[in-house]
Amino acid sequence: MAAAAAPRWQQTMLRIKDPKASLEFYKKHFNMQLVHRYDFPQWKFSLYFLERPRDKDIESLPPPGTKESEQYLWSMQGTTLELTHNHGSEHDPTFSVWSGNQGSDLPKDSPLYREGVIRGFGHIAFNVEDVYATSAQLEKDGVRFQKRPDEGRMKGLAFCLDPDGYWIELVKRDEGLFAENQNLSQAHALYTPLTVLRSFLHAPLALPTESP
């Protein structure tokens, strides 16, 4: 039997409150395109898969919700952001998501301290050519920020917030790599012990890992 092909990173899932707000946010500010969706009315949830394709390829994407778009989703070479919506949450004033950045492992005087939970998921990230210019434009467009480029100890990178409060890191990339202003680059999670995580990613998943 032939050896199975090495896995590839296909998606990062975020649970959202309002798909209309989230889809508009990621398309307007990061030019992410809806490539496919699944609706499960019997279980009252829907899945939306977004990709940041090359600008020249946007017009050739198949219409979402078709057999062609489903085939594209599971054969594409890139990585998607999967938005999961539980039906009715957009009308529930008590519904909110946990961004993964609040937790009781923080100092109690931290504004992100939250009793009884430990931080886990951290953020997604986009690489951009100019973090300062991108941040200024996003803020001008009304996007909220957790950290601006010149704030905090680490200068030159920023964290903005999506409609549900998930953190989006803006990281500088080398100039001239892409014609597009941004590309989806990473997902971050807080994990200990690190040696166990490296072993898991490198052995069964065959993903490359680097020491810090």
Residue 42, marked binder: no
Would residue 210 show up in a list of annotated catalytic residues for this protein?
Answer: no
Phi, psi of 133 (to 5 degrees): -65, -40
Query: Which of these, 116, 125, 107, lies nearest to 189 by C-alpha position?
Result: 125
Give the torsion through C-alpha atoms of 24, 133, 188, 113, to 10 deg. Answer: -90
Q: Using alpha carbons, select from 61, 65, 44, 43 the residue that is nearest to residue 52.
A: 61
Contact of 171 with 127, CB cutoff 8 Å: yes
CB neighbour list of residue 182: distance below 8 Å, 6 or more residues apart: 30, 31, 52, 126, 127, 128, 134
Of the residues 90, 129, 151, 169, only one is catalytic, namely 169
* 24 carries a ligand binding annotation: no
List strand residue ranges (DSSP E) for the chain, in order. 11-16, 33-40, 45-51, 80-86, 121-128, 145-147, 158-161, 167-172, 182-189
Q: Is 129 annotated as a binding residue?
A: no
The tokens 């500010």 sit on which residue?
A: 29
82 known member of a binding site: yes
Q: Which residues are catalytic?
A: 169
Question: Binding site: what residues are annotated?
Answer: 11, 82, 123, 169
Question: Binding site for Zn(2+): what residues are annotated?
Answer: 11, 82, 123, 169
